[in-house]
Amino acid sequence: MTTRRRFLSAAATTGALSLTGCQKHSLPPTYGSLFGLSDALSFAAQRWLLRRQPLAREFRRDQISARFPAINTTNPPDREYQQQRAGHFADWRLSVDGLVASPGELSLADLKAFPSRSQVTLHCCEQGWSAIAEWTGVQLSTLLQAVGTKPEARYVVFYSVDDWWDSLDMFDALHPQTLLAYGMNGGELPVQHGAPLRLRVERQLGYKQLKYVGGIEVTDRLDNVRDGTGAVGVALGYPWYAGI
């Protein structure tokens, strides 16, 4: 509980700093320019509106969409991935490193051994379509607590096997509906939807729901991670914060 409380106070500090802008990278990573201004406004406004950490709406199971569109990568061609897929991901491992007390690797069975959460939610693609599905997985907060994040931890970076990457700050990482999901609609997570593990961040748009997660890294800063933008989509014009 101490760790969790420390997380929450870290998240609160991040929020406060965002508004004053007195620390480098306290604002969400962005691609600069004039658009960065409205990004920051949308981010700050939503952080204030969501300050009590409400849940995104959850639906009944009979509202689940008959089909769920699969876009971007639907079957990573990576040879190692295909071997793991052939073996039903028995040899697959999630790597966890960075600012944690016990870095290492977790199997799918390890992840399933944690208490699970199932949620039926609306997936909103930035293209305009939306569909309802049930997601089952381990809460990211549970996993972070288990590996023991260090007090200076502020972000969680996610790497996928198809070479995408993204990140969350602790405000969203510790939200109860933020899952590393291994199940969908009562079954295993299908390959086209990111098997064996994908991210669910229900208060953000579809492009934040990273598929094929292979590793996570806990960090105190994003400017030294890859190109420093916080996510693969930022350079393409998709803001790091996807709550709008």
Partner 1 sequence: MQAATVSRRHSGVIRVTHWINAACFLALCVSGYAILIAHPRFYWGWTGYFDTPAAFSLPLAVNLDQTGWGRNLHFLAAWITLFNGLLYVGWSAAALRARPAYSVSRKAAYAGVVFVLLPLMILSGLTMSPGITAAYPQLFGLFGGRQSARTIHFLLGAALVAFLIGHVAMTILTGFRRNMRNIL
The CA distances from residue 218 to 35, 128, 168, in Å, are 28, 32, 10
Stretch that binds partner 1, among 7-15, 73-81, 190-198, 230-238 (CB under 8 A): 230-238
173 interacts with partner 1 by CB under 8 A: no
CB 169 within 8 A of CB 194: no
Span 54-83, contacts to partner 1 by CB under 8 A: 54-57, 59, 63, 65, 67, 69
- Shortest Å distance, C-beta 90 to partner 1: 33
Nearest Cα neighbor of 216 from 137, 136, 157, 146 is 157
216 alpha carbon, distance to own chain's centre: 10
- Shortest Å distance, C-beta 131 to partner 1: 5
Stretch that binds partner 1, among 73-81, 90-98, 112-120, 198-206 (CB under 8 A): 198-206
Give the span between the Cα atoms of 158 and 166, in whole angstroms: 5
CB 162 within 8 A of CB 213: no
34 interacts with partner 1 by CB under 8 A: yes
Is the Cβ of residue 54 or residue 151 nearer to partner 1 in the bound state? 54
- Shortest Å distance, C-beta 189 to partner 1: 19
Stretch that binds partner 1, among 2-10, 12-20, 35-43, 151-159 (CB under 8 A): 35-43
List % helix, strand, coil for the chain (3-state, nearest 5): 30, 25, 45
CB 231 within 8 A of CB 191: no
The DSSP call for residue 100 is B
- Shortest Å distance, C-beta 168 to partner 1: 13
35 interacts with partner 1 by CB under 8 A: yes
The alpha helices in the chain, defined as continuous H runs, are 2-20, 35-49, 79-86, 108-113, 140-147, 170-173
Is the Cβ of residue 141 or residue 149 nearer to partner 1 in the bound state? 141
193 interacts with partner 1 by CB under 8 A: no
Q: Provide DSSP, 32-48.
A: -TTHHHHHHHHHHHHHH
Number of residues that bind partner 1 (CB under 8 A): 38
Which residues in this chain contact partner 1 in the complex, by CB under 8 A?
34-35, 37-39, 41-42, 46, 49-50, 54-57, 59, 63, 65, 67, 69, 122, 124, 126-132, 202-205, 236-239, 243-244
